Structure formats: C-alpha cells, structure tokens
Amino acid sequence: MSLNPAWKELVAQRPPSGLISGPLLFSVLSQIVICVTFQTMAFTFVKQEPWYEVWNSSSNACNVSMDAHLGNSTHHDSHNIKNYENTTLFFVSSFQYLIVAVVFSKGKPFRQPSYKNYLFIISVLALFALIFFFMLYPIESVDKAFELVCVPFQWRLVLLFIIIGNALTSFFVENIVLDIILWKLVFNRDKQGEPHMVTHPPQEANDLWAARFCPPCASAKRRLLKPNTCI
C-alpha cells in the first residue's frame, strides 16, 4: 500500500500531521462501522435461510436429501468453529480486508494513483481471485484446513452480493462523502473564509503552556533568547 510513487508536483495542501485528526478519524471509524454492519447483516441473514440449523457433525446443507439422518449424531464442535455463521463471516471478512486496503490506498494529491503501484495491484487481484474461487468453487482440502462447512451455492451468491454492496458503500463513503462533501463543508472551512481552529507550531504551544504554569521559566527563557545590544 505504501509503494505508490510520489505525485508529479508539489501542492499547497499539507498532508495530515497526526493520527488524531477529523478526516483520519472519520475515515477509520466509518470503515469500521461499515464492516461491522455488513458482518452483522450476513450473520443475521444466514440464520434465516430454510436450510439453516445448529451445525453438528452430520449436518450437510449442500445435500438436503441427508436430512433424514441429521438427528443421528449429537456431537458438536467443542470450540464452536465449524458452523454456518463462521463460514459466512470468514468469506465476508476476507473480502473486507482487501476492500479496506484498496479504499485506504489513495493517490492524489500526494501520491500517484494506486494502479501505478503494480505490486499492490497484482497482490490485490490475485487475492480477490483466490478467495472468489474458494467461495464459489469449494475445495474439500481447503475447507478442511480453514475449518469451513459446506453451504449451498445459492447462499454463496448471496454472499457475493453482500460483498459487492460492502465494496460500493466503502468507496462511496471514503471517496464521495469524506473526500468531497465533508472536506468542503467541514474539514476545509478555513479556505472558505469561515472560522476555524487556530493551531500553533509545537514550540509555540510549549511556550504558551510554560508561560501559563511556570512564569519564571518563561521569563528566564525570554532573557536567554533576547539578542545582545551594543552600548
């Protein structure tokens, strides 16, 4: 993500100087809310499917003809890992990692566009293709390694639409709501001549605190910094 080349020319806009700032906090918190919302949606929807049940070792949602002997086993996963909810969230969260990485990999005005970061693009496309393949065309050995259970193909398509909705929402909030709407109305008010908070350089801020809580210290510093005068 950090290998994007620098932008071709300098701009007057200053990049964020700290992690505690309005745009950065909104960006991170909004993406967290989006991820939690779509994970909750998938977690809730899977329980409403007609084939859903509390998973046990005899469960097989991919083959409804086996329902006759589902009650023959009462063995459950002691760690509660292999179930329909965890399998659903595994695919959704795997895509969310990649979606957030792409959304946060911004270009202009400080860096070149993300598509010029060839290593990043190749990595993202390869991972997207791999996870899509595992989700739509399950492989028994892969499912066993990740402790996934079989879910119907129709539900895998529903997951695909949930993931697409997640991606569109993340891009809209980051690139439209934050970078265009909120940046003009809230975070960039000083360029429109509206009141804004005045920030002091670090040393000036230290001097203000010293003058407030330790007047002798501030006076001594001013005497030391006062230029010598010739008599």
Residue-level pLDDT at 70? 42
Q: Where are any strands of DSSP class E within 157-222?
A: none
How much of the chain, in percent, has pLDDT values that exceed 90?
39
Residue 15 maps to a domain: no
Is the pLDDT score of 200 beyond 60? no
- Is the pTM of the predicted complex or chain greater than 0.75? no
User: 6-29 in b/e burial notation, b at 16+ Cβ within 10 A?
Assistant: eeeeeeeeeeeeeeeeeeeebbee
Q: Does 2 map to a domain?
A: no
3-state secondary structure of 111: strand
**Other beta carbons less than 10 A from residue 166's beta carbon:** 22
Indicate whether 182 and 109 sit together in one domain.
yes
Asked if the structure places residue 5 within a domain, the reply is no
Residue 10: the pLDDT is 76
Distances (CA, A) of 167 to 19, 87, 153, 191: 24, 20, 21, 32
pLDDT tens profile 118-150: 899 999 999 999 999 999 999 989 999 999 999
Q: Within this chain, do residues 30 and 97 fall inside the same structural domain, yes or no?
A: yes
Q: pLDDT tier at 72 (50, 70, 90 boundaries)?
A: very low
pLDDT of residue 164: 96
Residue 188 belongs to a domain: yes
Task: Give just the sign of the alpha carbon dihedral 63, 67, 72, 77.
Answer: positive
Query: Residue 128: what pLDDT?
Result: 95
> Which pLDDT score is estimated for 6?
78
List CB contacts of 115: < 8 A, sequence separation 6 or more. Answer: 121
- What tens digit of pLDDT does each residue of 177-193 get? 887 888 777 766 544 44
Backbone angles phi, psi at 110, to 5 degrees: -100, -25
In a domain, residue 107? The reply is yes
Domain residue limits at 136: 22-192
Higher pLDDT, 68 or 180: 180
Tally of domains within the chain: 2
